[in-house]
A and B are shown apart, each in its own frame.
Chain A
Amino acid sequence: MDTAIIGEALNLLFTFEVLAAIAFGVVAGIVIGALPGLSGTMGIALLIPVTFGMEPVAGLAMLTAIYTSAVYGGSISAILINTPGTPAAAATAIDGYQMTKKGQGGKALGISAIGSMAGGLASGLVLLFVAPQLAKVSLAFSAAEYFLLAVFGLTIISSLAGASLLKGVISGVIGLVAATVGIDILTGYPRFSFGTTALQSGIELVPALIGLFSLSQVMILAEQRRTGTSATAQLVRGKVLPKLRELKTLVPTILRSSGIGAFVGILPGAGGDVGSWVGYNEAKRFAKDKSAFGKGEPKGVAAPETANNAVTGGALIPLLTLGIPGSSATAVLLGGLLVQGMQPGHELFTDDADVTYAVILGFLLANILMGVLALAGARLFVKVTTVPTKYLAPVILVLCVVGSYAINNSIADVWVMIVFGLLGYLLRKTGFPTAPVVLGLILGSLAEKGLRQSIVLAQGDVLGYYLSRPISLVLIVLILLALFAPVFRRKMRGKVTEEPEEQKETV
């Protein structure tokens, strides 16, 4: 990394527009995360069209600020009303809510804020130093490797599937089928375009994402309009800022969770929810008094909250260097990158290095700002959880329509958004997860393009081509491991006759 680029990046970063965008992103992220039912993914999808007219640094820094802040925001409702605002905050609810019941809600929020900030900062540093190294290697990735990476990415659908693997796979297939729409890149033949010009370039990613995550959410929110949220502001008792002595006892937990989170984040598919559970379990395993967990143990708040924010920076690494999103939130961020005309990969760290580094440094800044705002404004953000749905739903609906239209000035994109919104609603009502649809949509076209390009490049000997490339071999092994490891594990377990309780850890 050379210092000249960092200097340029700092120049790009410290402008009014960028700093204002980051501040807005942090506040918006915390608010979106705190609102039960609204996720960071949805917030990012909704705001991508807004970034379209902004400078790349401002737009992207805002989106990453929303990403990390929403993860923290999710802990607010988890701690105070036992309703995780985001899936990644589910582990936080266990001890966080117990602390609230003990009258330590304020302190729990403070610990969550400090943990989130520390985790986010640590992962931002990992991003800053690891991503450029990986980007250098990314030149060695060609069509064959991208095909295998996409396939590897598709194997993680199982981790996003939730309760039913079958339903997860079906969702993934829906995404794969949708990815076949558009002109065939190698022959120029229009597929499933039904004579429309709009579909010839395929299904537009961002409108589809807005539909799947935002419109469907509005419909679900609108259904629940009668069940108002309870007033929670009065639940915040006690000081928000924890005492220094208390903080000291949390330091090992925070450090451990930072490492775990950043590592889990780099792995494709293992998003914030996995990170926070692993962080929680490890904190419990290392604790002297395990019985305190589940009864309002501060470490039980610090561990998952640090880990799930540490995931964010880690997850940006494969996104920026290879264009492989590991979760729904990073999938949506990919849309944000593409809207700015920035192709993930080698170029982000060469031609666009100033912008990329400015965004990464902005991400670090966003985490600091998030910590400060979260500590100073905890009582204010808590009020957000009481905003009635009747105001929220129409606003989001308007943003969905305007946003989908604005990207390409295309009414057809609004239809894509509506169709995917209805699809998302139907899927969610019937218990199908929506994240695999997005992964299928993005990775499906990547896999098809990679496979077919690699066949051209192989000039006849496809198998030999794949087996003669070192990175391709490593990826093949990884895919086989990902596919068969669970089968082996189950067989091993069958022999040792272990109790099936263990499996819950990875959910």
Chain B
Amino acid sequence: MHSTRLTRRSALRYGAGLASGVLGPTLLTGCGSSASADAFPDRPIQVIIAYAAGGGTDVGARILQPYVEAELGVPIEVVNRPGGGGWSGWNEIVTAEPTGYVIGFINTPNFMTGYLDPRLGRTEISYENFTPLGNQVTDFSAVAIHPDDDRFDDLPGVINHARGQALTVTSTGVGSDDHYASLGLSDRYGTQFDVLHGEGASDGITALLGRHVDLAFANVGELKSLHDDGELKVVGVMADGRQRSPHLPDVPTFEEEGFGGFSSWSSRGLAGPANIDPRVVDKLAGAIKRGIQNREHIGQLAEQGLAVDYRSPSEHKKMLIRDERTTRQLGTKYIWG
């Protein structure tokens, strides 16, 4: 019932208009705010996951949970709010009272599509409605082929082939990182891809295993074990620079293969609503930083094939700005423009 109340209250505040967003929260939490910032945290903190339990974000969050709990000294409640392409959950973060007691995970670039795409009706929102608290994971995009495909064997072969003839490629949905990865590649290198949108990474990977598509666009974490087993072959990781993924040490980056200048990833980090008291932000960000950088946490995520990529709130914000720029540019040009 607690959550019902929260939703209703959030809706009321939302209805009052985001234009007063700067003033509103200050008024609401104005009195005694300094005292509450000193006392923070004195009750459980809700962490909202915009995806279902058992998914990648959820697993990562639940691995992190005990480490941040230990730092903050209060319980953390992980709350899954899937639906609406993630926006059931992200709306909840945006409209939460900026006390620091309701925060959540934001996933780029998927959550940007949700407010940049004008058809979805959230154009009044931007990354500025969130307070970045630190990035946890960056999972680079990668391209995989079927090992029995005799048309190409490496990334240059794939790109050359796709310049002459359209290849079918997978994506985890319109405006997902995998979608932007193929769009960005075509934009820069003139490749032609027919994009097959599915409902999750496993959809696309199964399609490649059954040889129904030519390429799978997915993240390193999703491809690692199948690549190691030889069921598919990852030909390139879309990371900037020549730094190979520790999870796929035998796979070159795009830049190594001569296709630099474009990178793609899916990242997830913690964020709260805008206008949280800076002292509360410092406390949260500090605890999150120590939690994420904890060796055990890093090791447990590595078992999932995920690379921890901690970024401080200011770095996290820069990352969001950069992601938003790419998303807006590709999205306007190819998806909703």
- Quick check: A456 and B87 within 8 Å, CB to CB? no
- A249–B195 alpha-carbon span in the complex (Å): 62
- A408–B83 alpha-carbon span in the complex (Å): 8
- Quick check: B85 and A183 within 8 Å, CB to CB? yes
Q: In the complex, which residues of chain B have a beta carbon less than 8 angstroms from the beta carbon of A453?
A: 196-198
Stretch from B132-140, B206-214, B235-243 forming part of the interface with A: B206-214
- Quick check: B168 and A456 within 8 Å, CB to CB? yes
- Quick check: A411 and B4 within 8 Å, CB to CB? yes
Q: In the complex, which residues of chain B have a beta carbon less than 8 angstroms from the beta carbon of A141?
A: 210
Interface flag for B230 (CB, 8 Å): no
Q: In the complex, which residues of chain A have a beta carbon less than 8 angstroms from the beta carbon of B202?
A: 343, 347
Interface flag for A180 (CB, 8 Å): no
Segment 453-499 of A: residues with Cβ below 8 Å from B:
453, 456-457, 459
- Quick check: B79 and A188 within 8 Å, CB to CB? no
Taking CB as reference atom, which chain B residue is nearest A139?
B210
Interface flag for A229 (CB, 8 Å): no
Q: Shortest CB–CB separation between residue B316 and chain A, in angstroms?
A: 24
Contact of A409 among B3, B85, B121, B336 (CB under 8 A): B3
Interface flag for B194 (CB, 8 Å): yes
Q: In the complex, which residues of chain B have a beta carbon less than 8 angstroms from the beta carbon of A411?
A: 3-4, 7
- A457–B170 alpha-carbon span in the complex (Å): 10
Interface flag for A159 (CB, 8 Å): no
- Quick check: A142 and B212 within 8 Å, CB to CB? yes
Segment 82-96 of B: residues with Cβ below 8 Å from A:
82-85, 87-88, 91
- Quick check: B81 and A408 within 8 Å, CB to CB? yes
Q: Shortest CB–CB separation between residue B137 and chain A, in angstroms?
A: 19
- A199–B120 alpha-carbon span in the complex (Å): 12
- Quick check: B213 and A457 within 8 Å, CB to CB? yes
Q: In the complex, which residues of chain B have a beta carbon less than 8 angstroms from the beta carbon of A95?
A: none
Q: In the complex, which residues of chain B have a beta carbon less than 8 angstroms from the beta carbon of A188?
A: 113, 117, 119-120, 173-175, 335-336
- A141-B210, A185-B199, A453-B196 given; A200·B84 CB < 8 A: yes
Q: Mark B70-84, 1 if CB is under 8 A from A, else 0.
A: 000000000111111
- Quick check: B196 and A456 within 8 Å, CB to CB? yes
Q: Mark A136-157, 1 if CB is under 8 A from B, else 0.
A: 0001111100000000000000
- Quick check: A457 and B168 within 8 Å, CB to CB? yes
Q: In the complex, which residues of chain B have a beta carbon less than 8 angstroms from the beta carbon of A456?
A: 168, 194-196
Segment 48-73 of B: residues with Cβ below 8 Å from A:
52-55
- Quick check: A410 and B81 within 8 Å, CB to CB? yes
Taking CB as reference atom, which chain A residue is nearest B59?
A341
Interface flag for A16 (CB, 8 Å): no
- Quick check: A139 and B206 within 8 Å, CB to CB? yes
Q: In the complex, which residues of chain A have a beta carbon less than 8 angstroms from the beta carbon of B157?
A: none
- Quick check: A459 and B80 within 8 Å, CB to CB? no
Scoring B84, B85, B121 by chain A CB atoms within 10 A of each residue's CB, the highest score goes to: B84
Interface flag for A399 (CB, 8 Å): no
- A195–B121 alpha-carbon span in the complex (Å): 7
Interface flag for A244 (CB, 8 Å): no
Size of the chain A interface, CB-CB below 8 angstroms = 36
Q: Shortest CB–CB separation between residue B49 and chain A, in angstroms?
A: 10
Segment 128-181 of A: residues with Cβ below 8 Å from B:
139-143
Scoring B52, B91, B209 by chain A CB atoms within 10 A of each residue's CB, the highest score goes to: B52
- A222–B123 alpha-carbon span in the complex (Å): 47
Q: Mark A199-241, 1 if CB is under 8 A from B, else 0.
A: 1110010000000000000000000000000000000000000
Q: In the complex, which residues of chain B have a beta carbon less than 8 angstroms from the beta carbon of A15?
A: none
Contact of B88 among A189, A198, A345 (CB under 8 A): A198
- Quick check: A200 and B85 within 8 Å, CB to CB? yes
Taking CB as reference atom, which chain A residue is nearest B169?
A456
- A449–B174 alpha-carbon span in the complex (Å): 13
Taking CB as reference atom, which chain B residue is nearest A197?
B84
Q: Shortest CB–CB separation between residue A459 and chain B, in angstroms?
A: 6
- A412–B82 alpha-carbon span in the complex (Å): 12
Q: In the complex, which residues of chain B have a beta carbon less than 8 angstroms from the beta carbon of A409?
A: 3, 79-81
Interface flag for B200 (CB, 8 Å): yes
Q: In the complex, which residues of chain B have a beta carbon less than 8 angstroms from the beta carbon of A386?
A: none
Scoring A142, A197, A201 by chain B CB atoms within 10 A of each residue's CB, the highest score goes to: A197
Interface flag for B16 (CB, 8 Å): no
Q: In the complex, which residues of chain B have a beta carbon less than 8 angstroms from the beta carbon of A200?
A: 83-85, 87, 120
Q: Shortest CB–CB separation between residue B310 and chain A, in angstroms?
A: 27
Q: Shortest CB–CB separation between residue A194 and chain B, in angstroms?
A: 11
- Quick check: B87 and A197 within 8 Å, CB to CB? yes
Contact of B91 among A195, A197, A340, A449 (CB under 8 A): A197
Q: Shortest CB–CB separation between residue B25 and chain A, in angstroms?
A: 21
- A341-B55, A343-B202, A346-B206 given; A186·B84 CB < 8 A: no
Interface flag for B166 (CB, 8 Å): yes
- A195–B113 alpha-carbon span in the complex (Å): 16
- A427–B33 alpha-carbon span in the complex (Å): 55
Q: Shortest CB–CB separation between residue A341 and chain B, in angstroms?
A: 4
- Quick check: A142 and B207 within 8 Å, CB to CB? yes
- A187–B55 alpha-carbon span in the complex (Å): 24
Interface flag for A43 (CB, 8 Å): no
Q: In the complex, which residues of chain A have a beta carbon less than 8 angstroms from the beta carbon of B175?
A: 188
- A345–B198 alpha-carbon span in the complex (Å): 15
Taking CB as reference atom, which chain A residue is nearest B212?
A142
Q: In the complex, which residues of chain A have a beta carbon less than 8 angstroms from the beta carbon of B113?
A: 188
Q: Mark A334-347, 1 if CB is under 8 A from B, else 0.
A: 00000011010111
Interface flag for A362 (CB, 8 Å): no
Contact of B83 among A185, A195, A198 (CB under 8 A): A198
- Quick check: B83 and A139 within 8 Å, CB to CB? no
Segment 131-179 of B: residues with Cβ below 8 Å from A:
166, 168, 173-175
- A341–B87 alpha-carbon span in the complex (Å): 20
Interface flag for A190 (CB, 8 Å): yes
| Interface set of A (CB-CB < 8 Å, partner B) | 52, 139-143, 183, 185-190, 195, 197-201, 204, 340-341, 343, 345-347, 408-412, 449, 453, 456-457, 459
Q: In the complex, given contacts A139-B206, A411-B3, what are 13 additional A-B residue pairs having Cβ atoms less than 8 angstroms apart?
A: A141-B210, A185-B197, A188-B117, A188-B119, A188-B120, A190-B121, A197-B87, A201-B83, A341-B52, A343-B202, A343-B203, A410-B88, A459-B194
Instruction: Return the 7 tightest CB-CB contacts between A and B, nearest first.
Output: A188-B174, A142-B212, A197-B84, A341-B54, A200-B84, A139-B210, A201-B83
Complex A-B: 15 CB contacts under 8 Å: A142-B210, A188-B113, A188-B119, A188-B120, A188-B174, A200-B87, A204-B83, A343-B200, A343-B203, A345-B206, A346-B210, A411-B3, A412-B88, A456-B195, A459-B194
